[in-house]
Structures are given as structure tokens and as C-alpha cells.
Chains A and B, each alone.
Chain A
Amino acid sequence: MKTDRNALLISGGRVIDPSSGVDREMDVLLRDGRVAELAAPGVLKAVAREAFNAKGCIVAPGFVDLHVHLREPGQPHKETIATGTAAAAAGGFTAVCAMPNTSPVNDSVEITRWMQAPERDAMVRLFPIAAATVGSLGEKLTNFAALKKAGAVAVSDDGKPILDDDLMRDALRAAAKLKIAVVQHAEDSRVTAGCSMNLGPMSFRLGLRGMSNAAESDIVRRDIALARETKAHIHVAHISTAEAMDAVRQARKAGIRATAEVTPHHFTLIDENIGEFDTHYKMNPPLRSAADRDALIGGIADGTIDAIATDHAPHAFHEKQVEFERAAMGIIGLETALPIAITVLHHYFKLPLTRIVELLSSGPTRVFGLEGLGTLAPGAHADVTVFDPAKKWTYDASQSRSKSRNTPYDGWTFTGKVVATIVAGKVVFEG
């Protein structure tokens, strides 16, 4: 056997590949941008010129984030595609799906293509999610077929939920024909105007108007009913309430194509963490009650949840450090997703690492049907995330690769750290 210049051998690690059920010590050979071979430790030694020692680490399919805001075009003071994908690489993500609420809104083939152009300097794979309606104004559907052809993997008016029943039905019908998902930010914004947190004892105590659980779950139920009617795929973004969780669980049992993602903050934090009006705990959907958080953990454990998605939402200091009701919603999350998942789901709630890897790789790729990703099967794209599940470390937000610093986790100590992120066979991040 001769050595190969375009090959990389990842040796000594424990391979977890939920798509093929592999969970044991193996070496992984990547060649020409693809997974070439998995073999027992030591067998492939002589093949690759380059080797990556993954001893003590987990070797997993590259992580895929279904929900990020990269702010380009239009808001480069918050983030750019280059900085956002650099943060993604540092967080172990080899692919991200970028929401269309840019400025202007990504409702066109031009912007969809512009985002994927090499000049954007994306460090990981970028899949645009295009707007479902023109300008995300909720009036006229965009051209789903053209957008899909240009590279969009789903459609959504994220942040501006589609409330009109007929329009949502039309969107689901059009998406079903193309076999893509409609991603809904489920919030009845007719009843949440002026609200800045979850409705409950904490919102009363703080004198802030609260969003009810029903404002989310009513829309989720409506969307599920429409998905059943149209035989379409509804994907519930950042699910946050016990009632919505139940609705998705029932829908799945009934054979309806309903999928759901959960963010690390919704399965970790609760509304009480807002404390004395800390805007780093202000997001939409809002942090909910402990009972809701527990229901999300239940949905993660029983398989109802398909993916962990970050809803990475960078904002500048001056947009966040203002009166709570005026502060921008959302937090950055790409670099902290895996450490939180391991710390909270694995160490605290005792979920197996295989489930966490599934939620970050094969789970999300199944949701959007991303071929050749989220798996280490031979022939798949050579996207690999290597992490140390036992490493303790402290997150320093000032060192973030993101342009923004809006995170509640600054100074938190986590167990579990990304060691290397490999995209198309090339190491793009080493921690």
C-alpha cells in the first residue's frame, strides 16, 4: 500500500456513528474529501501520510446546526458568514443552515447564491434556508423550486411566523411537492405583542409582559393539522413548551411528518435565570418554566426531538445592553452547544453520548435530507468532529470567534470540548 497525500487517518479514538450503529474504537481514513474506510485500530497505519491522534476522544460525524443567524447580508456589525462559520468550526459544526432574516431578507435566488459564494469565506458548509414568503411579510409565497435549485434546503419565515391558515397550507403544499420542509417559528404573534419573556410567576414579579405556552403550542397544533392535510413536512424550530412537545409526539405516533429541534438554552435554562433583568437570558421563544424544561428533556430522551440546533443569534453590545423590554432577542451558541449537551444531557441527565451525537449529526441531516452528511459510512463527505467528553474547561466569551459576545455562559465551566473539526477531509479547527 502506498501513502496518500489526500488522506487523513484519525486514529485511536472511539467512533460513534449513530447512522450505522457503530460505537467502538476504530481508525477512520478520509481520502479525497470522502470517508474511505473504518477499520480496527492499527490496521490502516501505513496508508495516510497525515494522521490525527484521537486517543481518549470521540470521533463523530461532523455536526450539523439546523438553525443559525449569520447576519449576512446586511448586518455585518453583528456577524459575517466568515466569523459565524469560524465560530461554528470552533463548536464542532461542519455544516450550518442559515436563516433568511437577513437584510434584505433571503427570499431570492440571488441572495441564496451570494451567501454560498466562495468570497464569503465560509469555514464550514453553509446551507441557506430561504424565506417562505416574499420579504417574510406573510403575503406571497417565494419561488420554492427556484430557491431549492439555488441551494436552499428548506423554507421559513423564522421570527415572523406564518399565521394565516391558507398561506401556511399553500406553503406546505408547495414544499411537499419539492420534498422540503417548512420550518416554523411557532409563535402566535397576535397575542405576544409587547412580551419580552415567558408568562408565569417570574414575569409577574419582574413586571414584564409574558408569552403564554399556548402562543407556541396553538400554532404547532395548527401546523401539524395542516401538515396532515397536505402530507407535508413541518419542522418545529426551537421547541420550548411541554404542550408543543406533546403535540409533536402525538403527531409522530399518527404518522405525520413533524420534526422538532431544541436549543441548548431551552433544555438548560429557565425563566428564573433572568434574575435581575439580565438580557443575556432574553430570547425568543423565551426561557420557560422548569416543568417545560423537563418536558424537553423527556422529548430528547424518548426520541421525539430530532436535533439540537443553536439558534445562534449574534447581537452587538449596544443592542443587548439596554432596557430589558427593548433588548434584542437571542444569544450566540455555536461554541457552547456540545459542551452544554455533554454537561447537561450526559453528565446530569445521564443520556448516552450516542444520543447526543445523533442529535448533532444524523438527526439534523435526516430532518433536511442532507445527503452524505451526518454519517461516517464509507463514501460520505469527510466531515468529522473529534471531541473529548471528559475535558473540563471554562468558556471565555471574549475569545469567541463570533463577532458578538451576547452569551449567558461567559465564565461557565463545562465538561466536554471540541478537539478538532474536519470539513471535507481538512482540519478547520483544532482546540
Chain B
Amino acid sequence: MKKAQPHSLLGIDQLNIAEIDSILKLARRMDPRRAPQLLRGKRVVLLFYEASTRTRTSFEFAAKALGATTTLITATSSSIEKGESLIDTGWTVTSLGADAIVMRHPNSGAPYLLSRFVPVPVINAGDGLHQHPSQALLDALTITNHKKRLKGLRVVIVGDVFHSRVARSNAVLLSKFGAEVIFCGPPDLVPDIAATIAPGVAACHDLDAAMHGADVVMSLRIQEERLAGKHISLDDYIAQFQVTPQRMKLARPDAIVMHPGPIVRGLELADEVADGPQSCMHEQVANGVKVRMAILATVSKGAR
């Protein structure tokens, strides 16, 4: 098998603790309004095969803040719609002069395929159910802004873990730093094998039990259509797994609440929690730009 470009960011697995720390350190120093022009004259292509608000916009702002020009290619407004293969699209984009490709794709592993065939760094902006490394990095930045360190933290990730690349990336990252991760949700959405993803990860089907002593509560979006045909109704889900003010009382008093967005209001999170003082959701979005600036800077430095 061909090897991937060495300076791509494809998944959290490939990063060691020092590399993650270095990205987070750089991200803390990044100011989108007064950034060093590290990417001046560079062309960053945003290749989005799937819809995105936060990730796409923050990658775009991040690249532009560093002086790069960006182009957005979406599946519906390009040759992709005419059946062009991913490898051919990659060659086309690099022949046009792309210096880096930021890709979101509905198929798990697509960025790994692309990075084996294009001569420029590929940054995974979310692939299928697999990974969303920039989200895990911005979540780590958000957590460390509130907690001294990740080691020993109890992090509850509640919701549709099976379909969540955010859950997978976060679990792998947090496990590397010695945090305790508890996946929580109904068995259909949190299968027992989920716990095998990394050391220190557990699967739990009782939110009240999971919330006890939690330092971080990470809620995931529930897509109603994904409950269809499962053993749990929407009402039961809300009753058993919604993060409510009552349940927050089970967590540590200084616990923070996170959500990668978009939120489905009234489903996975009670409004009082989403908009309450423990919620870090706006901070997460702001950190997204900083972390993605740090990622782009790191990747382009390596590729040079």
C-alpha cells in the first residue's frame, strides 16, 4: 500500500502527546485578528463532500487569518457530481496549485485514501463515523482552559456514540492523556465494543451512574432518524439520557458542559444546561478557529 503524506492530519491516533501539546500550545497563542502571516501566498482547498457550518467556516477563517487564500469545493457544485473519483479530484486540485487540502467526507477513511495519492498535506475535517481530529483538539483546548490537566479527569460522553466521529476522536485523545472516558447512551447507540477503542474507556447505559463525579459532560447530537428501528423511543431517550439540571447536580460542582454542535434543542440537552453557566459551547466554537490555525501552521511548516 502507498504511504500517506507524512504531514497530513488524518486521525488522533497518529499524534503523540508531545505533538498534541505542541498544537494546543500554539493554539493558545493564536489570535485570529493579529496572526503571523505563516501561510502567505498559500492555497488551501476546502473539499467538502458533506454539509458543515462550524468546521468549514472556522477552517476558512483560520487559513485566511494566516494569510492563505481558500477555495471551497462542495460535492454538489463540482465535477464530483459528475462521478469524478476521489483520487482524480485530488489530482485535479493539486494540479491547480493547492498547497493543502482540508476534507470532510461521508465515508470513513476517505482522507487516508486521498493522502496516499496527492503530494500535499491532507487535513481530515471529519470522515464518516471515524475521526474528527480538529474537533478533539479544540475540545482538549477548551477543557484545559478550565481544568489544570487532562490526566485523571472523568469525562462523560453521552448520546449517539456509534455514529459519532467526535466521540471516537475525543476518546482516543483523552485516553492518551490518562483521562477516564465514559460513553453513555442506550445499547443501540453505545455498543459494548465501543469501550475497546482505547484504554480507560468504558461503556455505560445509565446516565445517572455515569454523571457521578464527572468533570466534563460532553453531549452529542441525536439525529431522530437514527433512533428509527432502534429499541428506544424519542420520549424514552429524553427521559433517560437528556442532560438536565437535575443530572448536572450529580456531576462535580465545577463540571463543564460541552457539545460539538449543532444542538437539537430539547432533545439531548435541556435549555437550562445548554445556556447555563457551566456550558462552554460558545468557547468551543471560538477555540475552533485557534486550533485550526495551529493545525494549518503545523502542517504547512512540516510540509515545507
Residues of chain A touching chain B, judged by Cβ–Cβ distance below 8 Å, are 199-201, 204-208, 275-278, 280, 318, 321-326
B197/A323 in contact, CB under 8 A: no
**B92 CB-CB contact with A under 8 Å:** no
B109/A277 in contact, CB under 8 A: yes
**B26 CB-CB contact with A under 8 Å:** no
Q: A276-B4, A322-B113 are in contact. Are A201 and B196 (CB under 8 A)?
A: yes
B108/A322 in contact, CB under 8 A: no
Give bound CA distance, A217 to B10, whole Å: 36
Closest to B128 in A: A207
Closest approach, in angstroms, between the C-beta of A78 and any C-beta of chain B?
17
A276 neighbours in B (Cβ, 8 Å): 4, 10, 109, 112
A323/B113 in contact, CB under 8 A: yes
Give bound CA distance, A323 to B80, whole Å: 14
A322/B86 in contact, CB under 8 A: yes
Q: Hey, what's the 0/1 contact readout for B87-102 against A, CB within 8 Å counting as 1?
A: 1000000000000000
Closest to A203 in B: B193
A321 neighbours in B (Cβ, 8 Å): 87, 113, 117
Q: A206-B109, A277-B112 are in contact. List 6 more A-B contacts (CB 8 A).
A: A199-B193, A205-B197, A208-B128, A321-B113, A322-B113, A323-B107
| Highest count of chain A CB atoms <10 Å: which of B10, B110, B165 | B110
A326 neighbours in B (Cβ, 8 Å): 107
A204/B87 in contact, CB under 8 A: no
Give bound CA distance, A200 to B196, whole Å: 9
Give bound CA distance, A371 to B129, whole Å: 52
**B85 CB-CB contact with A under 8 Å:** yes
Closest approach, in angstroms, between the C-beta of A319 and any C-beta of chain B?
10
B259 neighbours in A (Cβ, 8 Å): none
Closest approach, in angstroms, between the C-beta of B112 and any C-beta of chain A?
5
B85/A205 in contact, CB under 8 A: no
A323 neighbours in B (Cβ, 8 Å): 86, 105, 107, 109-110, 113
B60 neighbours in A (Cβ, 8 Å): none
B1 neighbours in A (Cβ, 8 Å): 275, 278, 280
A277/B193 in contact, CB under 8 A: no
**B191 CB-CB contact with A under 8 Å:** yes
Closest approach, in angstroms, between the C-beta of B284 and any C-beta of chain A?
22
**B194 CB-CB contact with A under 8 Å:** yes
Give bound CA distance, A199 to B193, whole Å: 9
Closest approach, in angstroms, between the C-beta of B15 and any C-beta of chain A?
14
B107/A206 in contact, CB under 8 A: no
Give bound CA distance, A323 to B108, whole Å: 8
B86 neighbours in A (Cβ, 8 Å): 322-323
B191/A204 in contact, CB under 8 A: yes
| Highest count of chain B CB atoms <10 Å: which of A206, A322, A325 | A206
Closest approach, in angstroms, between the C-beta of A22 and any C-beta of chain B?
43
Give bound CA distance, A207 to B130, whole Å: 4
A324/B85 in contact, CB under 8 A: no
**B131 CB-CB contact with A under 8 Å:** yes
Closest approach, in angstroms, between the C-beta of B190 and any C-beta of chain A?
11
Give bound CA distance, A200 to B194, whole Å: 9
| Highest count of chain A CB atoms <10 Å: which of B87, B193, B194 | B193
Closest approach, in angstroms, between the C-beta of A194 and any C-beta of chain B?
11
B117 neighbours in A (Cβ, 8 Å): 321
**B139 CB-CB contact with A under 8 Å:** no
Give bound CA distance, A276 to B168, whole Å: 15
A278 neighbours in B (Cβ, 8 Å): 1
- Select which of A208, A275, A277, A280 is within 8 A of B129 by beta carbon: A208
A-B contact pairs, 23 of them (CB 8 A): A204-B191, A204-B194, A205-B168, A205-B197, A206-B109, A207-B108, A207-B109, A207-B128, A207-B130, A208-B128, A277-B108, A277-B113, A318-B85, A321-B117, A322-B87, A322-B113, A323-B86, A323-B107, A323-B110, A324-B107, A324-B108, A324-B113, A325-B107
| Highest count of chain B CB atoms <10 Å: which of A199, A207, A325 | A207
Q: A207-B127, A318-B85 are in contact. Are A324 and B109 (CB under 8 A)?
A: yes
A206/B191 in contact, CB under 8 A: no
Closest approach, in angstroms, between the C-beta of B159 and any C-beta of chain A?
16
Closest to A326 in B: B107
A201/B107 in contact, CB under 8 A: no
B108/A208 in contact, CB under 8 A: yes
Closest approach, in angstroms, between the C-beta of A409 and any C-beta of chain B?
12
B:232-252 near A, CB below 8 Å? none
B108 neighbours in A (Cβ, 8 Å): 206-208, 277, 324-325
Give bound CA distance, A329 to B112, whole Å: 19
Give bound CA distance, A318 to B85, whole Å: 8
B197 neighbours in A (Cβ, 8 Å): 201, 204-205
Closest to B163 in A: A207
Q: What 3 pairs across the A-B complex have the smallest Cβ distances?
A: A277-B109, A207-B129, A207-B130
Closest approach, in angstroms, between the C-beta of A38 and any C-beta of chain B?
46
Closest to B111 in A: A277
Closest approach, in angstroms, between the C-beta of B173 and any C-beta of chain A?
14
Closest to B196 in A: A201
B128 neighbours in A (Cβ, 8 Å): 207-208, 325
A207/B165 in contact, CB under 8 A: yes
| Highest count of chain A CB atoms <10 Å: which of B109, B113, B165, B168 | B109
Give bound CA distance, A111 to B274, whole Å: 65
Closest to B2 in A: A321
Give bound CA distance, A159 to B253, whole Å: 57
Give bound CA distance, A47 to B282, whole Å: 92
Give bound CA distance, A221 to B255, whole Å: 52
Give bound CA distance, A321 to B118, whole Å: 13
Give bound CA distance, A204 to B130, whole Å: 8
A277 neighbours in B (Cβ, 8 Å): 108-109, 112-113
Give bound CA distance, A10 to B119, whole Å: 54
- Select which of A201, A280, A322 is within 8 A of B193 by beta carbon: A201
Q: Hey, what's the 0/1 contact readout for B7-34 against A, CB within 8 Å counting as 1?
A: 0001000000000000000000000000
A275 neighbours in B (Cβ, 8 Å): 1
Give bound CA distance, A323 to B86, whole Å: 8
| Highest count of chain B CB atoms <10 Å: which of A199, A276, A325 | A276
Give bound CA distance, A318 to B83, whole Å: 12
Closest approach, in angstroms, between the C-beta of B181 and any C-beta of chain A?
14
Give bound CA distance, A326 to B108, whole Å: 10
Closest approach, in angstroms, between the C-beta of A14 and any C-beta of chain B?
38
B85/A322 in contact, CB under 8 A: yes
